[in-house]
A = this chain, B = another copy of it.
């Protein structure tokens, strides 16, 4: 089939890909595996030299503390890499777990090194994708350190909207999002109870509604300004909406 993969879609927001480069990407898409909810894709503390490209469904990447607390580091959507950071480590520093049932493309370290060394432009594009992942990580860190609960929640949904729109899964009005308030809490460094109260506040303020798995932006401009959302760190070629 000719449909471009989510990864190709995402990379196109950075650079144009030639026919040939697009083919190299699709050639990576060989070993397709399925994981169901509850089945770890990558496990913290285990030696696991495989990375993946998420093809469909959502996953989350997290760390568990000794006392059992969990911090979700990032949610992964189609086109994102899973476990890429740990391929050089003796032991993986984090876990990846499906949030919905997922399909993921397993990539052996050699595959990616080969693809990269034969296709310089693709190498740069993949480095860019890794840099962008890190930039989002940094922005997440900034949010945890310096934004209050409401700004954090607002910022989270705005960023997710941009990411989804790059792979065709969101529009300017909103998008589907199957995350529970417990998952949001673990990602945003809050309790589920407080996430709930915060969502109510945002809804009552006419900024954002998240209900029945559907995110709708009630006033996009005001939300952006409230959350101090500056999408510069996502480094897209063009504005996402408007």
Contact = CB atoms under 8 A, between A and B. Distances in A.
Interface of A: 45, 63, 65-67, 69-71, 73, 85-91, 93-94, 117, 124, 127-128, 131, 134-135, 137-142, 144-147, 188-189, 228, 230, 232-233, 235
B66 A145 contact: no
Nearest to A128: B88
Contact of A134 (B66, B128, B134, B140): B134
Nearest to A14: B88
B71 A228 contact: no
Contacts of A86: 131
A70 B56 CA distance: 37
A23 to B, nearest CB: 23
Nearest to A135: B93
A111 to B, nearest CB: 15
3 nearest A-B residue pairs (beta carbon): A145-B189, A144-B144, A93-B233
B66 A228 contact: yes
16 contacts: A63-B138, A65-B147, A66-B228, A71-B142, A73-B138, A73-B141, A73-B142, A88-B127, A88-B235, A90-B235, A93-B138, A93-B233, A93-B235, A137-B137, A145-B188, A145-B189
Contact of A235 (B65, B66, B89, B134): B89
Per assembly, the copies of the chain total 2
Contacts of A228: 65-67
B88 A124 contact: yes
Nearest to A234: B93
Contact of A144 (B45, B65, B89, B141): B141
A134 B139 CA distance: 13
Interface centre among A45, A85, A137, A145 (most CB of B within 10 A): A145
A168 B75 CA distance: 37
Contacts of A232: 45, 91, 93
Contact of A71 (B67, B69, B70, B145): B145
A94 B230 CA distance: 12
Contacts of A91: 232, 235
Contact of A85 (B63, B89, B94, B131): B131
